[in-house]
Amino acid sequence: MDWRSFASEWEVAALRRGFESDVLIEGHGLKSPCSIKGSASLPCIYLSSGIHGDEPAGPQALLGLLKEGFFSEAFHWLICPMLNPAGLEAGTRDNEQGLDLNRDYRLCQTREVTSHIQWLSRQPIPDLFLSLHEDWESSGFYYYEINLGVEGPQPEQILEAASAFFAPEPESVIDGHGVDSPGWIYHSQDPDVPDGWPEAIYLAKRKCPLSLTFETPSSAPLAKRVSCHQAVVREAVKRFQAIIG
């Protein structure tokens, strides 16, 4: 996959769809874009992907939604589609230094996460965070929810939207987490490893009330994973919109 073209395509499509874009970091001529749309007085939805460089479906899904005009006028949108540009280019989970960016949101040892946190701290606290990931060990779809006590989309709704592409992941323990029902992990707002904060834990510590981390199975065809991510993003946003009325 050509991630330089992806970044340029993203910037062009974002401009066309009313977003203002900036660059989180740049290295080897490869930019990591971040895009904002809508008044900050609107409910805020933040989406991110590409924090693990071997998970291309999330960035592709967000680019597809952007191009079709999915990101409506109803929300304040924040989007970071390729948080680990060097990892994406190399096709590796980690960044160039061999560090997992999604464990660096407490110690901030990487310039990717440092610049990302600086950018996030200038934005409103999102009301909803959607994080797009993939898993090399799973065969079905699953997702993590961190909820500080608000009404959110129900697991049946998210899993139903995913089911056109993938059944819920059948394992009862996924990545060391017991599922609450097949395909759904209700995660506490505390990190699994004290100093190894993922992005979603950082957002929870900043009082983002609801975060959903979607995981598609990497071994399945890319187009199917992209479509699944798009389906669950659509469903989550639709349900969130209905809840906030």
Q: Which residues would be at the binding site for Zn ion (CB under 5 A)?
A: 52, 55, 133
Tokens representing residue 28 in the block: 């080897």
Residue 114 CB, nearest approach to Zn ion (Å): 20
* DSSP-based three-state secondary structure for 82: coil
Nearer Cβ to Zn ion (7/88): 88
Nearer Cβ to Zn ion (36/57): 57
Residue type, 165: F
Angstrom distance (rounded) from CA 123 to CA 55:
26
Query: Shortest Cβ distance from residue 152 to Zn ion (Å)?
Result: 21
Which one, 136 or 148, has the nearer CB to Zn ion?
136
- Report how far residue 192's alpha carbon sits from residue 123's, in angstroms, rounded to the nearest whole number: 26
3-state secondary structure of 53: coil
Chain-centre distance of CA 17, in angstroms?
20
Q: How far apart are CA 110 and CA 145, in angstroms?
A: 26
Give the residue with the Cβ less far from Zn ion, 136 or 238: 136
Q: Please, which residue, 20 or 175, has the CB nearer to Zn ion?
A: 175
* CA 166 to chain centroid: 18
- The residue behind tokens 């056109």 is 164
CA distance 19 to 199: 23
The nearest distance, CB 2 to Zn ion, in angstroms, is: 21
The three-class DSSP label of residue 208 is: coil
Strand segments (E) across 38-81: 44-49, 76-80
Q: What is the smallest separation between the CB atom of 38 and Zn ion, expressed in angstroms?
A: 27
Question: Closest separation between CB of residue 12 and Zn ion, Å?
Answer: 27
Nearer to Zn ion, 103 or 133 (CB): 133
- Closest CB 143 distance from Zn ion, rounded Å: 12
